[in-house]
Amino acid sequence: MVAGVITRLVGWAVSVFYDVERSGPDLPPGPVLVTANHPNALVDPLVLFRTGGRPSRPLAKAPLFDQALVGTVLKGLGGLPVYRRQDDPALMHLNDRTFDAAIAALGRGEAVQIYPEGQSHSEPSLAPLRTGAARIALQAEASGGWNLGLRIQPVGLTYTRKHRFRGRVLAVFGEPFAVVGWREAYEADPRESARALTEEIARRLMRITLNLDHPDEAELVEVAERLYSRERRMARPRERVAMAERLPRLQTFAEGLRWVREADPGAFAALKRSVQRYQRMLTFFGAHEGDVPRRYRPIAVAAYALRQALLLVVVLPMAVLGVGVWLVPAVTTRLLAPRFRPELDQVATYKIGVAVLAFPLWLLLIVGAVAVAVSPVWALVSLGALPVLGLAAVAWRDRQARVREDLRVFLRVLRHPSGRDRLAEQREQLAAEFDRLYELWGVSDSRTP
């Protein structure tokens, strides 16, 4: 019950900090080993708590269990410590105890999270996987006489602006697969079977994550997909497309651009310059999401303006109250989290960690003050109303940011119609070039962006 409460609490916290999406099947019943990539430190387990559909016990590096806030949460969730050589080589032998605990949890039909890359990182692709996940899975199934029914479910986590409040994260749940199929290989050679199963986990994770060769190619792939999907009418110009819809196209562009770079470095360099030039034009028009429309229809513009204005005005009073009520913990989180000097993949962890402590304490302080100054009844009303006001402030912030960007693009198009026309021409040329390169790539039509 404690794990369920904590799972809901931290899952709710991560859904406030991020715009969370999920796709794919839920975690199946019975024993399941969740294997995920690890781009965002302790936020990754929080996303799985939010999207998994059932509690799961996380494996996390041992030093985290000694921290007051994080350690308490991990222990409440039934977390299992992993002892790494870089933390303390003298404690590595304790991993045997952790493996036994994970195997026992799976034997009881529980779900266990593990991150086979072994450490959080901000690299643009998967790191080589370690064999720990495979060894746990094989030993658990063997301990159950190969009748346990253990399945492995890969989960791919993809973030945009992962260190920023209201960034986006997509959790793609791959198809779970049974471990029993590795019985013969395990009984013949446990070490080789663990290596083979690790390779299978890696293959499945590669299918549901975005992997790039170089960090500076992220923007290239992002802009290429944006302009192509708008030019080929897969999305409307100013539409904010769901990450679940974009990911397969982003993966295709990443693979295609990798092929171009290897097959013809000169053509790749020219294409990169063209896409970067297009991105500079988008920046000039203020289009950080979506693209610039070829034309605006007056009736559609008027309807959009009226609808958004009404929504913003209706929510505004609650949003203002929400900002006023929650300003102190919000400022505290913003000022305090950077003082820990976190790495990029740890920024969101510290922000959410401080917020999980600051916001509930502030809520209890206000509720207690209302109970003393007014009445216990009004304290209960405050307990339910204040979080709603905070969510209203977050919703209003998101909407006004989108409307403001749409308005900025619209006004700059009015002032620079010739620039809009040049952008449309560039978009058409680049889309045609992508189609030409795709034909040269020589892959099946089913992989068309």
Predicted confidence (pLDDT) per residue in 173-185, tens digit: 999 999 999 999 9
User: Does residue 304 carry a pLDDT above 90?
Assistant: yes
Q: What is the DSSP letter of 149?
A: -
Pick the more confident residue, 145 or 1.
145
Winning range, highest mean pLDDT, from 80-89, 243-252, 337-346: 243-252
The tokens describing 238, both together, are 């100013």
pLDDT single digits (tens) 249-279: 999 999 999 999 999 999 999 999 999 999 9
**Residues 32-39, mean pLDDT to the nearest whole number:** 96
* Longest pairwise C-alpha distance within the chain: 74
Name the band, by pLDDT with cuts 50, 70 and 90, for residue 449.
Answer: very low
The tokens describing 195, both together, are 């290596």
User: Does residue 69 carry a pLDDT above 70?
Assistant: no
pLDDT at 341: 78
User: Which residues does residue 34 pair with via DSSP β-bridges, in sequence order?
Assistant: 113, 153
Length of the chain as a residue count: 449
The three-class DSSP label of residue 34 is strand
The tokens describing 71, both together, are 């350690």
User: Which residues does residue 19 pair with via DSSP β-bridges, in sequence order?
Assistant: 168
In the chain, what are the domains? 2-207 (3.40.1130.10), 298-417 (no CATH)
Q: What gap in Å lies between CA 402 and CA 312, rounded to an integer?
A: 11
Consecutive H or E run containing 389: helix 376-415
| Average of per-residue pLDDT values in the chain | 91
Q: What gap in Å lies between CA 360 and CA 6, rounded to an integer?
A: 13
Q: What gap in Å lies between CA 100 and CA 77, rounded to an integer?
A: 17
The three-class DSSP label of residue 449 is coil
Task: Please answer whether residues 173 and 28 qualify as being in contact, where contact means their C-beta atoms are separated by less than 8 angstroms.
Answer: no
User: Does residue 419 carry a pLDDT above 90?
Assistant: yes
N-to-C CA span, the chain: 45
Name the band, by pLDDT with cuts 50, 70 and 90, for residue 75.
Answer: confident
- Of 397, 238, 234, 224, nearest to 304 by C-alpha is 238
**Residues 114-128, mean pLDDT to the nearest whole number:** 92
Helix axes 190-207, 132-143, angle to 10 degrees: 120
Could you tell me the pTM of the whole model?
0.90
The tokens describing 56, both together, are 């799961």
Q: What gap in Å lies between CA 156 and CA 208, rounded to an integer?
A: 5
Residue type, 346: Q
CA 392 to chain centre: 23
The three-class DSSP label of residue 50 is helix
pLDDT at 446: 45
pLDDT single digits (tens) 210-236: 999 888 899 999 999 999 999 999 999
User: Does residue 444 carry a pLDDT above 80?
Assistant: no
User: Does residue 448 carry a pLDDT above 50?
Assistant: no
* Residues in Cβ contact with 160 at an 8 Å cutoff, skipping those fewer than 6 apart: 167, 168, 169, 243
Task: Please answer whether residues 56 and 27 qualify as being in contact, where contact means their C-beta atoms are separated by less than 8 angstroms.
Answer: yes
pLDDT at 342: 77
Q: What Cα–Cα distance (Å) separates residue 255 from each residue in 42, 50, 261, 343, 447?
A: 29, 30, 10, 28, 10
The tokens describing 86, both together, are 């870089």
pLDDT at 447: 47
Q: What gap in Å lies between CA 209 and CA 109, rounded to an integer?
A: 28
pLDDT at 68: 65
**Residues 325-338, mean pLDDT to the nearest whole number:** 92
Percent of the chain scored above 70 by pLDDT?
A: 96
Neighbours of 32 (CB within 10 A): 24
pLDDT at 3: 63
* Residues in Cβ contact with 42 at an 8 Å cutoff, skipping those fewer than 6 apart: 60, 64, 70, 349, 352, 353
Which residue has tokens 């350690």? 71
